[in-house]
């Protein structure tokens, strides 16, 4: 009976693992998993802090690394603009982060940011369509992060 249940669970989980790709982002000191449907998009000389940009038909994922100065310590802060629906702090993979979810002219978004040495790392998600589905995808991607 236990073998049968294990086999069923394995079959249910197999599509989840088969449909993901592991993406390394050394500039942000991390590796993460995104769906196979995500394609790598080229960077832009106008945005030198953009170190990873991927997207599929429903969501964009952008990772920015910005120099904030030596000995930044724990001086992580957020600037709120009024279009936020939710914000706060969270710990993922042992790293303290700030997050914000909102809606602006570009659409619905969620962003996470944290300090890494003398840099600020921001992971920005922008989606179109089903918010619940998008938030589940954001949660899965963020919880897949492995820090170097």
* Phi, psi of 49, rounded to the nearest 5 degrees: -80, -10
In this predicted structure, the answer to whether residue 1 has a pLDDT above a threshold of 50 is: no
**Confidence class for position 2, pLDDT limits 50, 70, 90:** very low
- 90's tokens: 């969270």
Q: Which of the pair, 134 or 11, is modelled with greater confidence?
A: 134
Task: Quote the DSSP letter at residue 46.
Answer: T
**Confidence class for position 8, pLDDT limits 50, 70, 90:** very low
Q: What is the three-class DSSP state of 22?
A: strand
- Specify the pTM: 0.82
**Confidence class for position 76, pLDDT limits 50, 70, 90:** low
- pLDDT at position 142: 98
22 beta partners: 33
How many angstroms separate the CA atoms of 138 and 132, rounded? Answer: 10
**Confidence class for position 72, pLDDT limits 50, 70, 90:** low
Least confident of 1-5, 54-58, 100-104: 1-5
Residue 27, CB-side half-sphere exposure with 13 Å CA sphere: 16
| Strands 95-104 and 84-92, sheet pairing | antiparallel
How many angstroms separate the CA atoms of 12 and 15, rounded? Answer: 7
- pLDDT at position 17: 41
């Amino acid at each position: 009976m236990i073998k049968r249940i294990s086999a069923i669970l394995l079959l249910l989980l197999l599509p989840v693992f088969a449909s993901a790709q592991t993406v390394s982002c050394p500039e942000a000191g991390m590796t993460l998993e995104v769906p196979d449907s995500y394609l790598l998009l080229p960077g832009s000389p106008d945005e030198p802090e953009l170190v990873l940009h991927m997207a599929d038909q429903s969501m964009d994922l952008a990772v920015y690394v910005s120099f904030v100065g030596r000995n930044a310590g724990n001086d992580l802060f957020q600037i709120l603009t009024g279009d936020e629906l939710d914000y706060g702090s969270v710990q993922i993979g042992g790293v303290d982060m700030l997050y914000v979810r909102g809606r602006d002219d570009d659409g619905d978004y969620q962003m996470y940011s944290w300090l890494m040495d003398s840099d600020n790392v921001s992971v920005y998600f922008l989606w179109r369509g089903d918010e619940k589905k998008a938030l589940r995808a954001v949660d899965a991607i963020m919880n897949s992060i492995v820090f170097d």
